[in-house]
Amino acid sequence: MSLSEQKIIRINKLNEIKILGINPYPSKEYLINNTAENIRKNFINKKKVSIAGRLMRLRILGKASFGEIKDHTGRIQIYLNKDNLYIDNVKKEDVYNVFLKKLLDIGDIIGIKGFLFTTKMNEITINVKELTLLSKSIRPLPQVKISKDKKIYDEFSDVEQRYRMRYVDLIVNDKVKNIFLKRTKIIKKIRNFLDKKGYIEVDTPILQPIPGGAVARPFITYHNSLGIPLYLRIANELYLKRLIVGGFNGVYEFSKNFRNEGMDRYHNPEFTVLELYVAYKDYYWMMNFTEKLITSIFMEFNYKVKHNKIYDPIPFSRISMLDSIKKYTGFDINNMNKSDLIKICIVLKIKYENKWNKCKIIEHIFDEKCKKNYVDPTFIIDYPIEMSPLTKKHREKKNLSERFELIINGQEIANAYSELNDPIDQFYRLKKQIKYKKELKNNNNTFIDEDFIRSLEFGMPPTAGIGIGIDRLIMLLTGNKSIQEVLFFPQMRPKK
């Protein structure tokens, strides 16, 4: 037989099931009154139960069999005995020897009614009285075996197949589901935290006529009846600020952003950022707020810093970007010009390009020499102003801006600032940035969102804003090294 030998066999079984008069895909609701987890936690001998799930294992021992079924809460063992098993519509003599032994397969979804007991081996088990086929599986599952001491054999581990067929990954790899359950809990926790403060969750456009708020290549699409190109948002920042102008005191959005750039372990073309804007606050306030938010999440989800020590809620340290560079390179780059900075790159053996501007070089020095040193949560503050076109000039320090990034485990987790609300300065700064970007990458796709400028002209209160990379935060808290592991369906190149 060809490559789908096992599939052909199962399709034949499907037909035989129909001949027996059983619908392999019945419509009727199946009533359950329990779950695998609850049965294990609250075992009562001889208690009648009804549950449904996927058959994951079947061990036939003559006239009795043991199996394992898995529902949304976990696995539970079942016991099937030839003498007292009933299947609706199936003749008594066919129930065990035909239906169970020949037609039932691992992967089938079944409902069972029976009572609880413990086996000689002290395993909580359901003695099945009645079995109902709820959905026939015609494709074999990978056979992952888990021993009593939780060792995994023949794990379904091919990353490509796991991501392309996440449904299979979720069925056979128990730990995968937990990552995503945790993801949901973390997001819920953040939402709760923000709701309690009275901030409003909002939705802003994903299809934007001008992709603003960040610098990145957007995905372009086209609206037929408007006859215009639209862009999938690269950020939602400019829209949330419009809402602050409109009178909201605090708004946030879990924003799916889309960036048409390279993909790797840390970048998926679509990813999630939490953006929060609060009126009448500044970046100092936002630092304190972020510290409370992140600490509460770390406490709840037992974040472990290096060496597996449980996270200890100490105050996050704060260091200015220039001080950090001084600390890790020995150079005080304050007030240096571009040619001085290039000399420093040469001494430090850091690559640079002549077309880079001053702040790009500073950023690069920081990324190469400083960032990796911050394992414990650390605020890097006061970035050079050219790097931050949407940020207020620092109230005291010349050439710097009121901006911070939160670095944890050597990775940027959040980016925040006192939002620039001077419309004239904002226009000038965006224009300058666009000019530089055009020189750097021949990128003619950037333009100024003039409606955003107009909104500032009406007056935006002083505002603090932050973006938190949700996927990266989930990676931290679940101990995953790649973003694909924390997204259900990471982007893959189509096969063939």
- Shortest CB 379 distance to RNA, Å: 13
**In terms of Cα–Cα distance, which of 66, 68, 69, 67 is closest to 30?**
69
459: left (phi over 0), alpha (psi -120 to 50) or beta: left
- Shortest CB 27 distance to RNA, Å: 26
Greatest CA span in the chain, whole angstroms?
Answer: 91
**In terms of Cα–Cα distance, which of 16, 276, 28, 9 is closest to 132?**
28
Q: Tell me: does residue 171 bind RNA (CB under 7 A).
A: no
For residue 284, which amino acid is it?
Y
Q: Which element (helix H / strand E) includes 245?
A: helix 237-245
Distance, CA of 432 to CA of 165 (rounded, Å): 46
Using the contact rule CB under 7 A, the part of the chain among 40-48, 153-161, 220-228, 339-347 near RNA is 153-161
Q: In the set 58, 240, 456, 468, which binds RNA (CB under 7 A)?
A: 58
Using the contact rule CB under 7 A, the part of the chain among 29-37, 38-46, 258-266, 293-301 near RNA is 258-266
Q: In the set 144, 176, 336, 345, which binds RNA (CB under 7 A)?
A: 144
> What's the helix, strand, coil split of the chain in %, to 5?
35, 25, 35
Residues 112, 120: contact at Cβ < 8 Å?
no
Residues 367, 250: contact at Cβ < 8 Å?
no
Please give the structure tokens belonging to residue 155. Answer: 């794990």
Q: Tell me: does residue 419 bind RNA (CB under 7 A).
A: no
The phi, psi pair for 143, rounded to 5°, reads -95, 90
Q: In the set 19, 29, 153, 196, which binds RNA (CB under 7 A)?
A: 153
- Shortest CB 368 distance to RNA, Å: 8
Please give the structure tokens belonging to residue 271. Answer: 């990813």
- Shortest CB 195 distance to RNA, Å: 26
Distance, CA of 159 to CA of 355 (rounded, Å): 39
Which residues ranging from 230 to 249 are in contact with RNA (CB under 7 A)?
Answer: 234-235
Q: Tell me: does residue 375 bind RNA (CB under 7 A).
A: no
Using the contact rule CB under 7 A, the part of the chain among 159-167, 195-203, 222-230, 369-377 near RNA is 159-167
**In terms of Cα–Cα distance, which of 363, 285, 297 is closest to 324?**
363
- Shortest CB 76 distance to RNA, Å: 10
- Shortest CB 459 distance to RNA, Å: 26
Q: In the set 262, 314, 395, 396, which binds RNA (CB under 7 A)?
A: 262
Query: Binding string to RNA for residues 331 to 360, with x set by CB under 7 A, is what?
Result: --------------------x-x-------
Q: In the set 211, 484, 486, 487, which binds RNA (CB under 7 A)?
A: 484
Which residues on adjacent β-strands are paired with residue 114?
A: 49, 128
Q: In the set 33, 161, 317, 373, which binds RNA (CB under 7 A)?
A: 161
Which residues ranging from 24 to 43 are in contact with RNA (CB under 7 A)?
Answer: none
Distance, CA of 4 to CA of 362 (rounded, Å): 58
- Shortest CB 359 distance to RNA, Å: 10
Q: Tell me: does residue 373 bind RNA (CB under 7 A).
A: no
- Shortest CB 235 distance to RNA, Å: 7
**In terms of Cα–Cα distance, which of 189, 191, 144 is closest to 169?**
144
**What strands, in cross-sheet order, belong to the sheet with 378-381?**
200-201, 250-258, 270-279, 463-469, 411-418, 403-408, 378-381, 317-320
Closer to RNA by Cβ: residue 166 or 197: 166
Using the contact rule CB under 7 A, the part of the chain among 4-12, 32-40, 44-52, 422-430 near RNA is 4-12
Closer to RNA by Cβ: residue 37 or 296: 37
Closer to RNA by Cβ: residue 28 or 351: 351
CA torsion sign for 427, 429, 434, 436 is positive
Q: Tell me: does residue 264 bind RNA (CB under 7 A).
A: yes
Q: In the set 28, 46, 148, 398, which binds RNA (CB under 7 A)?
A: 148
Q: What's the start-to-end Cα distance of the chain, in Å? A: 24
Distance, CA of 75 to CA of 144 (rounded, Å): 14
Please give the structure tokens belonging to residue 385. Answer: 């102003």
Q: In the set 32, 146, 206, 305, which binds RNA (CB under 7 A)?
A: 146
Residues 146, 158: contact at Cβ < 8 Å?
no
Q: Tell me: does residue 219 bind RNA (CB under 7 A).
A: no
Closer to RNA by Cβ: residue 104 or 301: 104
Q: Tell me: does residue 74 bind RNA (CB under 7 A).
A: no
Q: Tell me: does residue 195 bind RNA (CB under 7 A).
A: no
